[in-house]
Homo-oligomer: A and B are copies of this chain.
Amino acid sequence: MIFTAEQIAALVGGTVEGNASVQVSTFAKIEEGVPGAISFLANPKYEHFLYETKSSVVLVNRDFVAQQPVEATLIRVDNAYETVAKLLTMYQSMQQKKTGVSERAYVSESAQVGEDCYIGPMACIGENVKIGRGTAIYPNVVIDDNVTIGEDCIIYPNATVYHDCKIGSRVTLHAGVVIGADGFGFAPTADGYEKIPQIGIVTIEDDVEIGANSCVDRSTMGTTIIRRGVKLDNLVQIAHNVDVGANTVMSAQVGVAGSAKVGEWCMFGGQVGVSGHLSVGARTQVGAQSGLNNSSIVREGGKVLMGYPAVEHKLFAKQAAAWKQLPDLLKEVAELKRQLEEMKKDN
């Protein structure tokens, strides 16, 4: 698909500066620009690339003032970053969607598959599974018995959904995701551990995206729940009985232990850990690699937390600064001690 700068400006409500008839057919980062590509400049840090880029068109904010001559055609918009996201979405929606059920897939006779679904080769769809219209199940995915999946979902290759779990609409599960494996529950005995059966399920609400090789365990009873709009990155672990609030975002390799409750609109950096049974308030932000384990700090919500164990961001900054001075502090205290001894002697 080829568009002129003028056509794109009309599409996004922008104004053209430069050659309005120049044509573009792809996207490129501004620092990797090529002729025929459209780029964007949102972060002022990257401004110098604007004067060298080979891209034919660059989206900039309406109030941007160039400090040097620019070869590319500019399109001025209210928010260059948001506009490029919209254009990318339009670009991707024009890609051809896969449809049809492969003869090489295994679909049980009792399964119900909606209209306009794609089921790829080697996918396995168990007994009584219900799949809503427009959903795509990629090759080698396994959907076990009695699972229900809503409309317009995408489940990428080699993902697994265990029996009885419920998945909403517009949910994306990336490759290797495992939904509904047994929660980690064992009762100690004299000889070893006895398994506590995990007869609950996992519920994933609408508009959730879960990254590659992440795991959400089924609950002991009832349901583990990932609420509306949650986004989990790759290799995230959500243990049994956990409740993740709407629109919460977790970066890669985060782990949430059993029965924890995470409020809505939280943001967790990578490799964060949350203790079992903890209740984390809404809009809590947590720095990468931090560990949440103190209910009195986390339950209120709205805080920016950091460290292990995590404390409020400002306290952490002070602690980290003090930590750097710790070796000097030791020396200083020893010196004070020496001086004091001397003074005592003198007195």
A residues adjacent to B (C-beta < 8 A): 27-29, 32, 81-82, 85, 88-89, 91-92, 102, 104, 106, 120-122, 124, 138-140, 142, 144, 156-160, 162, 172, 174-176, 178, 181-182, 184, 186-187, 191-197, 199, 207, 209, 211-213, 215, 217, 220-222, 228-229, 231, 233-235, 237, 239, 246-247, 249, 251-253, 255, 257, 270-271, 273, 275, 288-289, 291, 293, 308-309, 311, 315, 318-327, 329-330, 332-333, 336-337, 339-340, 343-344, 346-347
Contact = CB atoms under 8 A, between A and B. Distances in A.
Q: Find the residue from A121, A191, A194, A336 having the highest chain B CB count within 10 A.
A: A121
29 contacts: A28-B222, A88-B220, A104-B106, A122-B122, A122-B140, A138-B144, A139-B142, A140-B142, A142-B175, A156-B162, A158-B159, A175-B181, A176-B215, A178-B213, A182-B209, A184-B211, A186-B209, A192-B246, A192-B247, A212-B217, A233-B239, A234-B237, A237-B252, A239-B252, A253-B255, A270-B273, A271-B271, A325-B330, A333-B333
Given A121-B106, A252-B255, A322-B326, A197 B237 contact: no
Query: Which interface residue of A215, A228, A332 has the most chain B CB atoms within 10 A?
Result: A215
Contacts of A319: 323-324, 326-327
B327 A326 contact: no
Given A175-B181, A271-B273, 5 more contacts: A121-B124, A138-B144, A172-B182, A176-B213, A340-B340
A38 to B, nearest CB: 10
A193 B229 CA distance: 7
Contacts of A347: 343, 346
A307 to B, nearest CB: 8
A309 B207 CA distance: 35
Nearest to A207: B192
Contacts of A343: 340, 343-344, 347
B337 A327 contact: no
B215 A212 contact: yes
A251 B194 CA distance: 16
Contacts of A339: 340, 344
Contacts of A322: 326-327, 329-330
A329 B156 CA distance: 54
Contact of A320 (B27, B207, B309, B318): B309
Contacts of A162: 156, 175
Contacts of A27: 199, 221
A177 to B, nearest CB: 8
Given A181-B212, A192-B228, A253-B253, A89 B197 contact: yes
A60 to B, nearest CB: 17
Contacts of A196: 85, 88
